[in-house]
Amino acid sequence: MNDLARKRLRAALEALTPPAEELIIRELPDSTRRRRLTEAIAIAAACTLAVAAVGSMLWMRSLSPASAPATQVTPRLPAQETPVPRPSPSRPPVPGVVPSPAGRSPAPAPRCHTGDLSATLRPLNSAAGQRYAALSLANRSGHTCRVYGYVGMLLLDASSTPLPTDVVRNANPGPAVVSLSPGQSAFTVLHWTVVAGPGESQTAQCEPQPAYLEITPPDETTQLMVDWNMQFVCLHGRIDVGALSPGTGPDF
Amino acid sequence: MMAISNGSATGDMPLDDVQFGNLIQPLMERAYQVAYQVLADREAAQDAAQEAAIAAWRHRGQLRGPSFTSWFLKIAINKARAIRRRRWFTVIRSTSLAEAGRQAAGDPLDGVADRLDLVVVLRRMPAADRITLLLLHAMDMPYAEAAHVLGLSERGVRSRERRALLRIRPLLEDAQP
């Protein structure tokens, strides 16, 4: 390898990773002295807090049909008390745990679980580099259930390897409780671009071709898979998505 | 909890939290880069780097391997793989619009078309190959340290590097002056 090749390789390797947003170590669990004992206490405390947090989340969910948006509950620094959904400046004002707009309805339908739903992905009309598709979730169970909020998505290639995916939630339409009788559907429109952005190939395809889309229904932790029979997704897999609305979506 | 399989012990380093923070903070970006190759997701990779920092702090008495950097990056890879196995990271992720704007603000490098093809090819490689190149050719890590991070022998690292370079050779050879 000559110097130019070396430089080029280095630049490409550095371009592989998007810039990080937060990599500050906030707080380390304890100090060096009294390490073993404090560590044991910290671990025990973290476990207790985690149990308490999960308990209170379950309790809060049972109170209201409008539950918190599904968010990664990744263990952060043990000093943090509860697995709080990560705040994001752009996230639309999603009501976390509030009564549903319908007020105090007598017996709210249970949340639709992944197993209750089937997903369909349908391409819509495209325009000048912009692509749209309707993603609908149909209630295939024998009972009424409800969905509230946004789906999670991950693009996969033909060997089911995750591809860069950047799901951006639109504030409009915002989350609303959608009650689904058996057979009924809720939908959202996906939007993405096939025009390469900065940091992507301007001459060749910007991102790898997806083969599947993995969908996480709101508040669920398991996924549905649908085939992705459309083009690749530029801007590092950025897909704009609204909250689920009643129906199967527009015809074109 | 943490798998350290090879490398020689450098001994118990009695670090306090300030010293430790000073050691770790400059390595967080690298840990994030390495984790990103496994996870292909910014937030999940950031989580992996955070978790690695905490694990490293907890296990600071067991520091081993040829260097602190390789020890820490090895933990970061393990954390990223653990997150990947959990598959929790497939749950909704949201990105700030501000940051999307930043991405749209333009690439600092010029004459990028060929380099970007290279990026596409690199993205399609197995994560392990990508990490190998990243460690050797972007982070300038010696083979012995890369071997520790990857849990391979030095020969193993060299042959993986050779294989990965072979795949991108056509794109690199364009760079002949």
Residue B155: inside a domain, yes or no? yes
> By the CB < 8 Å criterion, does A190 face chain B?
no
Q: How far apart are CA A224 and CA A197, in angstroms?
A: 29
Residue B103: inside a domain, yes or no? no
Shared-domain flag, residues B48 and B86: yes
Q: Tell me the pLDDT tens digit for each residue of B131-175.
A: 999 999 999 999 999 999 999 999 999 999 999 999 888 888 765
Cα–Cα distances in Å, from B23 out to B17, B19, B20, B52? 10, 6, 5, 13
Nearest chain B residue (CA) to A77: B54
Place of tokens 């809720």: A186
Q: Which of A21-35, A178-192, B15-29, B92-106 has the highest mean pLDDT?
A: A178-192
For chain A positions 210-239, those within 8 Å of chain B (CB to CB) are 214, 216, 221, 223, 235-236, 238
Model ipTM over 0.95: no
Among B59, B91, B123, where does a domain finish?
B91
Per-residue pLDDT, B60:
81
B66/chain A closest Cα distance in angstroms: 23
State the pTM of this model.
0.43
Shared-domain flag, residues B84 and B121: no
Q: Tell me the pLDDT tens digit for each residue of B22-42.
A: 788 889 999 999 999 999 888
The domain total for chain B is 2
Among B36, B57, B91, where does a domain finish?
B91
Task: Report whether CATH 2.60.40.10 matches the domain A114-246.
Answer: yes
Q: Tell me the pLDDT tens digit for each residue of A38-54.
A: 455 556 666 566 666 66
Residue B56 · residue B71 · CB < 8 Å: yes
Shared-domain flag, residues B87 and B18: yes
User: What domain range includes position B122?
Assistant: 111-177
Among B57, B91, B125, where does a domain finish?
B91
Choice between B73 and A61, residue whose per-residue pLDDT is larger: B73
> By the CB < 8 Å criterion, does A128 face chain B?
no
Residue B76: inside a domain, yes or no? yes
Residue A225 · residue A153 · CB < 8 Å: no
Residue B63: inside a domain, yes or no? yes
Q: How far apart are CA A65 and CA A219, in angstroms?
A: 11
The 3-state secondary structure of A56-73, one letter per residue: HHHHHHHHCCCCCCCCCC
Nearest chain B residue (CA) to A17: B33
Nearest Cβ partner for A238 among B61, B100, B115: B100
- DSSP secondary-structure letter at B53? H
Q: Which of A5-19, A168-182, B96-110 has the lowest mean pLDDT?
A: B96-110
% residues pLDDT > 70 (chain B)? 72
* pLDDT classification of B15: cutoffs 50, 70, 90: low
User: What CATH number has the domain bearing residue B30?
Assistant: 1.10.1740.10
Shared-domain flag, residues B116 and B71: no
Residue B102: inside a domain, yes or no? no
> By the CB < 8 Å criterion, does A79 face chain B?
no
Query: Could you tell me the residue ranges of all domains in chain A?
Result: 27-107, 114-246
Residue B147: inside a domain, yes or no? yes
